[in-house]
Chains A and B, each alone.
Chain A
Amino acid sequence: DAKTTQPPSMDCAEGRAANLPCNHSTISGNEYVYWYRQIHSQGPQYIIHGLKNNETNEMASLIITEDRKSSTLILPHATLRDTAVYYCIVREGRGSTLGRLYFGRGTQLTVWP
């Protein structure tokens, strides 16, 4: 059970910000929000994760609402290479003994020139 809801598809113009929403209304206190992406049948690639606070790294920003029931992944300047399926996942805890990932259907992001 993926425990998340994402729109099946979105598109974005190259150079613009891509904002990908995710609902996780049943998230519990010790569950993290993870984002992965999969480019055309390649192995999924880790993007970012967070618990409560907003997070930023070199790939993206993650905004989590105060009630933690939803989040948004932001790709600040989308490029054609960002075209992929983006998966939002909730996962219990950290450490290798916990928290296998359950993938839903994700959002197909298409970046157009």
Chain B
Amino acid sequence: DSGVTQTPKHLITATGQRVTLRCSPRSGDLSVYWYQQSLDQGLQFLIQYYNGEERAKGNILERFSAQQFPDLHSELNLSSLELGDSALYFCASSSDGELFFGEGSRLTVL
């Protein structure tokens, strides 16, 4: 158990819809990272937050957004969903160096 909690574990929705994925980092970790893993793309870095502020952006689509709240949990919002957004979405947290990953949220868009 990494100490990082992600909900929901599984989510099935339709194209055009909007979903929110939630991440609770390890106690004391200020950084949260979001990654997307689809079958043909591997693990893709999306975005990083540090203590509530956006720190770095990777390959995150404009239809996607994220935020980190004062209690340090983070949410990843995915809108206007397309079939290609079906993937595993991982959250990770860090305090100094190593990243600890949650078990992921599996999103299926039909």
- Which listed residue (A42, A87, A94, A104) contacts B97, Cβ 8 A? A94
Please determine whether B45 and A97 come into contact, CB atoms closer than 8 angstroms: no
Contact, CB under 8 Å: A103 / B98: no
How many chain A residues touch B (CB < 8 A): the figure is 24
Minimal beta-carbon separation of A18 from chain B (angstroms): 21
Tell me whether chain A's interface is mostly helix, strand or loop, or mixed. Answer: loop
Q: Is B43 an interface residue (CB 8 A)?
A: yes
The secondary structure that dominates the B interface is strand
Contacts between the two chains (Cβ within 8 Å), count: 62
> Size band of the B side of the interface?
20 to 34
Q: Which of B14-22, B76-84, B100-108 is the interface stretch?
A: B100-108
B75 shortest CB reach to chain A, Å: 18
B101 → chain A, closest Cβ, in Å?
3
Within 8 A of B (CB), among A19-58: 32, 34, 36, 38, 41-46, 49
Residues of B within 8 A of A42 (CB): 103-104
Please tell me if the beta carbons of A43 and B2 are within 8 angstroms of each other in the complex.
Answer: yes
Tell whether A80 is near chain B: CB-to-CB under 8 Å. no
- Tell me which of B45, B96, B103 contacts A96 (CB under 8 A): B96
A100 to B94, CA, bound (A): 10
14 A-B pairs besides A32-B97, A100-B56 with CB distance below 8 A are A42-B104, A43-B2, A43-B104, A44-B92, A44-B101, A87-B43, A94-B96, A94-B97, A96-B50, A96-B96, A100-B58, A101-B33, A101-B45, A105-B42
User: Which 6 A-B pairs give the minimum distances between C-beta atoms?
Assistant: A43-B101, A96-B31, A103-B43, A46-B98, A94-B97, A44-B101
